[in-house]
Every structure is written in structure tokens, then in C-alpha cells.
């Protein structure tokens, strides 16, 4: 096990952070604007989001770089800014974290699928390697490859960032199939667990998806197939569209109640994905530290 992960696991459950996108929107991101570019054009707002999670008690915070691979940035004509956006994102989170939290660099999917030939393995490898190098230059302590639905892409990303010697979490999104137990590409937790272990992930996980209720069984299924530490970040309940706006059917308290079930199902790291905010993390911290 990577020494940094081993050190963290002396705590019963490590509390991570919550959603960034919605927080950035609350601070004025325009519809269609690239949130990752705010690392360069509005760093104070990004630091505010990062600091809000540190204040809420997150032991690990991420970086505002989920969509900052050059393939995703191409949609905004910002590919060439990929190194600068990632390095700045890491530096902003490090500044906000001080010595209170660790910073893991967020690496999301490229939005293109290997199986359909939309993108080649070498293009993916180059994009992820570029992102990871810049995040490491900015000072991240580890990486979270997250919201993945295709195992090929997850494996290529893992391979590209592993070379830097920092710990890597690989987290898939299970939001499809009966009982929302498969990724969009049909991958089960058992398949992901097996393949990602062989590929050398330090931590495996599940994030986003259909909320707290469904992720408990995903976590149990990951736990039944691996001894690796498990990282879980559910959305704040089931997404519903009300008046054209996506909302989530949970409160910080009900969310934190599920965290106990997720902990019992074997998770070592727990945080929140879409729809969560610092209040959710505060509730999570309260419930998990009462238990410990
Ligand atoms: Zn999410």
C-alpha cells in the first residue's frame, strides 16, 4: 500500500470533499462557460470553494480540474491552456488546504470513447499524462481519476498518472442497468474491482450516480471482491428535474445517515458528489466522528 494512503487509514473513515461545479455556479459561472478556466481567470472564487471544504472538515480536498484534460478543454478552445489550468488548480487547492488537508488532483473523463474509435489510446495517454504532470508541478499529494464509465479509459488514465509515483484513486460511476449497478458502458463493480486491482490502483471507488441509497450495495460489492481501500462519493440523492433545474432529494442529515451505512459496507474514504455542499460535509464529519 502507498505510504500516504496507509498513513491516512489510521483514521477510521477519511472525510473527503463535496461538489465543486454547483459551488462555482453559485459564485457566478455563466452557462456554457468553462469552470476549469476559472483557475486562471477567477482564482479567488476557486480558492473560496476549496477553503469552504477545508473549513467543513475535509481531510482531502480535490482540485478544480475535473474537465481540464486537453480533449475536454478543446470544446472551449482552451486545449493549449491545459498545463496552466491544471498547475494553477493544484496551487489554489494547496493554498486553501494549508497543513489542514491533503490535495488530490481531479481527473475526469475525456468525453470520448476508445471502443468506438472516437479517440486513440495514445491520444488519451498523452492528454492524461499532460494533466497529471501539471497537477504534480502544482503540488498535489495524489490523484483521483473519477466519474469513469469505460474501463479502457480508466486504465489508460491510471497508467499515465502512475509514473509520477503518487497514490491514485480510480472511481467509476454506476448509474445504469437494473438497480443502477452498472456503469454506462455496462461494467459491474466486480469487473471494475478486478481489473483496476490488476492495473495497480491504490484505491478503488464509486462516485456520482444515483445517490446514497444505491451506492451502499455498490460499496458492499466492491468490498466483497477486494482488500484495497474504497473511496465513495455519492450524489446528494436521486437527481430530479424541477422547473428545468436539477435538484437532489436529500438533506445534509439524511445524506450523513447513509454515510454510516456506506461506512459499514466497507468504505474508507467518504465524501459527496453532485448536489452536495460544505453543509453535507459538515454533517458527514459530525456523524462519522461521533461513531468513531
Ligand atoms: Zn457527480
Domain presence at residue 284: yes
Taking the CA atoms of the chain, what radius of gyration do you get in angstroms?
17
Q: How far is the CA of 258 from the centre of ligand 1 (A)?
A: 17
Domain hosting residue 75, numbered range: 22-291
Task: Please give the Cα distance from 109 to 5 (Å, whole number).
Answer: 24
Tell me the pLDDT tens digit for each residue of 112-135: 998 889 999 999 999 999 999 999
Q: Say if residue 292's pLDDT is above 60.
A: no
Is residue 12 a part of any domain in this protein? no
Question: Is a pLDDT exceeding 80 seen at residue 34?
Answer: yes
Q: Classify residue 246: in a domain, yes or no.
A: yes
Residue 224 contacts residue 199 (beta carbons within 8 Å) = no
What's the CA-to-centroid distance between 173 and ligand 1, angstroms? 8
CA of 183 to the centre of ligand 1 (A): 13
Integer Cα distance of 207 and 168 in angstroms: 15
The reply to whether 6 falls in a domain is no
In the reported structure, the alpha carbon of residue 197 is separated from the centroid of ligand 1 by a whole-number distance in angstroms of 23
Q: How far is the CA of 273 from the centre of ligand 1 (A)?
A: 4
Domain count, the chain: 1
Measured in angstroms, how far is the CA atom of residue 77 from the centroid of ligand 1?
Answer: 24
pTM above 0.85, yes or no: yes
pLDDT for res 205? 98
Domain-embedded: residue 59: yes
Could you tell me the CATH number of the domain that includes residue 248? 3.20.20.330
pLDDT digits (tens, 9 = 90+) for 149-191: 999 999 999 999 999 999 999 999 999 999 899 999 999 999 9
pLDDT of residue 279: 98
Q: Rounded to the nearest whole angstrom, what is the distance from the C-alpha of residue 211 to the centroid of ligand 1?
A: 9
| Inside any domain, residue 8 | no
Average pLDDT along the chain:
95
- Specify the pLDDT at position 291: 61
- Give the residue from 167, 166, 187, 184 showing the smallest Cα distance to 175: 184
For residue 100, tell me if it sits in a domain: yes
Examine residue 280 and state whether it is found in any structural domain, yes or no. Answer: yes
Q: For residue 20, how far is its CA from the centre of ligand 1 (angstroms)? A: 9
Amino acid at each position: 500500500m502507498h505510504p500516504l494512503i496507509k498513513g491516512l487509514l489510521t483514521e477510521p473513515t477519511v472525510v473527503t470533499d463535496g461538489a465543486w461545479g454547483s459551488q462555482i455556479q453559485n459564485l457566478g459561472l455563466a452557462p456554457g462557460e468553462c469552470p476549469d478556466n476559472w483557475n486562471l481567470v477567477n482564482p479567488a472564487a476557486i480558492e473560496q470553494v476549496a477553503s469552504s471544504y477545508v473549513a467543513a472538515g475535509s481531510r482531502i480536498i480535490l482540485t478544480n480540474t475535473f474537465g481540464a484534460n486537453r480533449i475536454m478543454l478543446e470544446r472551449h478552445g482552451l486545449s493549449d491552456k491545459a498545463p496552466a489550468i491544471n498547475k494553477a488548480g493544484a496551487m489554489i487547492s494547496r493554498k486553501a488546504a494549508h497543513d489542514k488537508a491533503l490535495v488530490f488532483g481531479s481527473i475526469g473523463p475525456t468525453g470520448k470513447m476508445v471502443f468506438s474509435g472516437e479517440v486513440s489510446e495514445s491520444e488519451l495517454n498523452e492528454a492524461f499524462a499532460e494533466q497529471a504532470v501539471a497537477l504534480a508541478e502544482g503540488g498535489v499529494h495524489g490523484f483521483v481519476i473519477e466519474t469513469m464509465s469505460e474501463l479502457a479509459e480508466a486504465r489508460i488514465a491510471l497508467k499515465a498518472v502512475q509514473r509520477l509515483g503518487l497514490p491514485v484513486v480510480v472511481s467509476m460511476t454506476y448509474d445504469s442497468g437494473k438497480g443502477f449497478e452498472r456503469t454506462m458502458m455496462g461494467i459491474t463493480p466486480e469487473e471494475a474491482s478486478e481489473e483496476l486491482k490488476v492495473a495497480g490502483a491504490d484505491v478503488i471507488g464509486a462516485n456520482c450516480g444515483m445517490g446514497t441509497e444505491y451506492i451502499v450495495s455498490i460499496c458492499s460489492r466492491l468490498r466483497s471482491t477486494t482488500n484495497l481501500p474504497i473511496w465513495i462519493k455519492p450524489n446528494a440523492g436521486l437527481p430530479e428535474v424541477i422547473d428545468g433545474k436539477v435538484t437532489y432529494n436529500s438533506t445534509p442529515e439524511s445524506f450523513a445517515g447513509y454515510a454510516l451505512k456506506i461506512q459499514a459496507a466497507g468504505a474508507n474514504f467518504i465524501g459527496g458528489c453532485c448536489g452536495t455542499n460544505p453543509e453535507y460535509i459538515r454533517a458527514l464529519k459530525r456523524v462519522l466522528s461521533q461513531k468513531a
